[in-house]
C-alpha cells in the first residue's frame, strides 16, 4: 500500500455507517442460490440510501448505508435498501434474509464472485474462502483524527463480546445445532489475520506495524486485516466487524446505536479513565470472544485488570446505565431501550431461530420464516 493510501481521511466524529451481508436464497427450498451477479445486473437504483455490491460468493450480497449523523437516518437507509432488494429479489425469483450463517447449505456448492480480489483470496486461502460464506454486520464510527481512530480501536476492544452476544444469529451450521449462539466467527477465526488489533498506541505505530507486515509479504492492503476492530483510513472511521447480521434491520440499527453511544462515552471519559492496558486485554480477548460466541448474553467474561470473572449481562446493564447521557445527546434513547427490552425478555435472534426450529422441526421452514422476518412481515 502506498503512503498516500495510508493517509487518514478525517470524518466528523461519531458519524455512522453500517454494512450488512445478506443471504440470497432459492424460493423453492430456501437453500442458498447463486444469484448475486445476476441480481446486481438487473438492479436499477440511484444509491440514495447507500450501496449494494457483490461479496466473495454468488450466494451473498452486501449493502452499505450512507454516512449519517444519527441512527434514525441509518435505520431509514436500511429500510430503503431492504425495500429495494426485497422487490428486486422477488423479480429475480429469489429470496433474501439476514442471519450470521445459513443453517444447512453445502459450502462446496458455493461459487466465487468474478473479481480480481475475490479470486486472489480464493487462490490464497482455498476452501476457506468458500466456507467464508457467512454473514456479518460491520459498523463504522467516524473519527476526527488518525490517533483517535487507533485509540478508539483499542478502547472498544473489551466491548467486543457484548456486540457478539447481542447480534448472535448463527446457531446452526451444516444442518445441526452447534450449541453456539454465534458460530459464524469460527469461520472467520480460521484466517491467519483475524483476531485482535495488536498493541499499537497511535497512528504512527499502526502504520509501522502495517508496513512491517507488508515487508514480510503478509499483507498488501488493510482489507487483508480481518481484525475484530480496525481503523479504516479511507473512510476516516473505526470499523467494528464482529457482529452477525441480525434477522431484522431494527436490531442492526440498535447495534449501531450502541456503537455510537459507546464511542461517545469512551471519548468523553477518556481523561477520567486509567490508560488502556492493551497487553492485558489481549491475554483474555480470545477467551472472552469464545464465551460470547458460545453462550451469548449468558457468557462469563474475564477481567484482566481486576483478575476476576463477571457475567456479561451485568457488564452490559452497567454499560447501558453509563450510556444514558450519551444516548440522550445522540437521540438514541429508544434504540438502547430496545436492547434493554430484549435483555429483559431474554430474546435473541439465536433463540428465535431455535424456537422456530423446535416448532417446525425443519430448517427449510426456519429460513422461510427468516425471510419473512427480514422483510418486516414477522
Task: Describe the crossing of helices 278-295 and 312-322 by its angle, rounded to 10 degrees.
Answer: 110
pLDDT confidence band for 273 (50 / 70 / 90):
confident
CA gap 102, 332 in Å, rounded: 31
Q: How many CB atoms lie within 10 A of CB 361?
A: 9
CA gap 322, 62 in Å, rounded: 33
pLDDT at position 5: 56
* Residue 256, SS3 per DSSP: helix
CA gap 339, 313 in Å, rounded: 12
pLDDT per residue as tens digits for the range 143-153: 999 999 999 99
Nearest residue to 103 via CA among 375, 349, 377? 349
Taking the complete model, does pTM exceed 0.85, yes or no? yes
Domain that holds residue 173: 4-374
pLDDT per residue as tens digits for the range 316-363: 999 999 999 999 999 999 999 999 999 999 999 999 999 999 999 999
Q: What is the total count of domains within the chain?
A: 1
Nearest residue to 63 via CA among 275, 374, 293? 374
| CATH (domain of 358) | 3.30.590.20
pLDDT at position 191: 94
* Residue 57, SS3 per DSSP: strand
Cβ atoms of 166 and 255 closer than 8 Å: yes
pLDDT per residue as tens digits for the range 215-251: 999 999 899 999 999 999 999 999 999 999 999 999 9
Q: How many CB atoms lie within 10 A of CB 189?
A: 15
pLDDT at position 3: 47
User: Rounded to the nearest 10 degrees, how much is the dihedral formed by the CA atoms of 264, 268, 271, 275?
Assistant: -10
Nearest residue to 148 via CA among 284, 12, 329, 304? 12
CA gap 245, 130 in Å, rounded: 18
Amino acid at each position: 500500500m502506498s503512503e498516500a493510501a495510508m493517509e487518514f481521511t478525517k470524518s466528523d466524529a461519531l458519524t455512522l455507517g453500517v454494512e450488512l451481508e445478506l443471504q440470497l436464497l432459492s424460493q423453492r427450498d430456501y437453500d442458498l442460490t447463486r444469484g448475486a451477479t445476476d441480481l446486481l445486473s438487473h438492479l436499477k437504483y440511484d444509491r440514495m440510501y447507500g450501496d449494494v455490491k457483490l461479496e466473495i460468493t454468488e450466494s451473498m450480497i452486501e449493502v452499505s448505508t450512507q454516512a449519517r449523523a444519527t441512527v434514525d437516518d441509518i435505520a431509514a437507509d436500511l429500510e430503503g435498501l431492504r425495500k429495494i432488494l426485497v422487490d428486486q429479489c422477488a423479480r429475480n425469483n429469489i429470496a433474501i434474509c439476514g442471519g450470521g450463517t445459513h443453517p444447512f447449505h453445502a459450502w462446496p456448492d458455493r461459487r466465487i464472485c468474478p473479481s480480481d480480489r475475490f479470486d486472489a483470496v480464493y487462490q490464497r486461502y482455498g476452501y476457506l474462502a468458500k466456507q467464508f460464506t457467512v454473514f456479518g454486520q460491520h459498523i463504522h464510527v467516524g473519527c476526527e483524527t488518525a490517533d483517535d481512530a487507533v485509540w478508539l480501536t483499542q478502547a472498544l476492544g473489551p466491548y467486543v463480546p457484548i456486540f457478539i452476544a447481542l447480534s448472535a444469529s448463527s446457531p446452526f451450521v451444516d444442518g445441526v445445532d452447534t450449541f453456539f449462539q454465534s458460530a459464524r466467527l469460527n469461520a472467520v477465526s480460521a484466517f491467519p489475520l483475524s483476531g485482535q488489533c495488536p498493541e499499537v498506541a497511535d497512528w504512527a505505530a499502526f502504520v509501522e506495524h502495517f508496513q512491517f507486515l507488508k515487508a514480510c509479504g503478509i499483507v498488501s492492503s488493510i482489507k487483508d486485516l480481518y481484525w475484530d476492530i480496525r481503523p479504516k483510513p479511507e473512510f476516516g472511521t473505526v470499523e467494528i466487524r464482529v457482529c452477525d447480521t441480525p434477522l431484522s434491520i431494527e436490531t442492526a440499527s440498535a447495534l449501531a446505536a450502541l456503537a455510537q453511544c459507546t464511542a461517545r462515552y469512551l471519548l468523553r471519559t477518556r481523561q477520567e479513565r486509567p490508560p488502556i492496558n492493551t497487553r492485558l486485554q489481549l491475554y483474555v480477548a480470545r477467551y472472552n470472544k469464545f464465551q460470547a460466541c458460545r453462550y451469548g448474553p449468558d457468557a462469563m467474561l474475564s477481567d484482566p485488570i481486576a483478575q476476576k470473572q463477571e457475567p456479561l449481562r451485568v457488564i452490559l446493564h452497567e454499560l447501558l446505565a453509563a450510556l444514558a447521557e450519551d444516548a440522550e445527546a445522540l437521540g438514541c434513547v429508544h434504540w438502547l431501550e430496545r436492547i434493554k427490552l430484549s435483555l429483559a425478555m431474554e430474546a435473541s435472534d439465536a433463540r428465535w431461530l431455535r424456537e422456530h426450529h423446535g416448532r417446525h422441526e425443519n430448517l427449510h421452514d426456519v429460513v422461510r420464516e427468516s425471510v419473512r422476518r427480514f422483510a418486516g412481515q414477522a
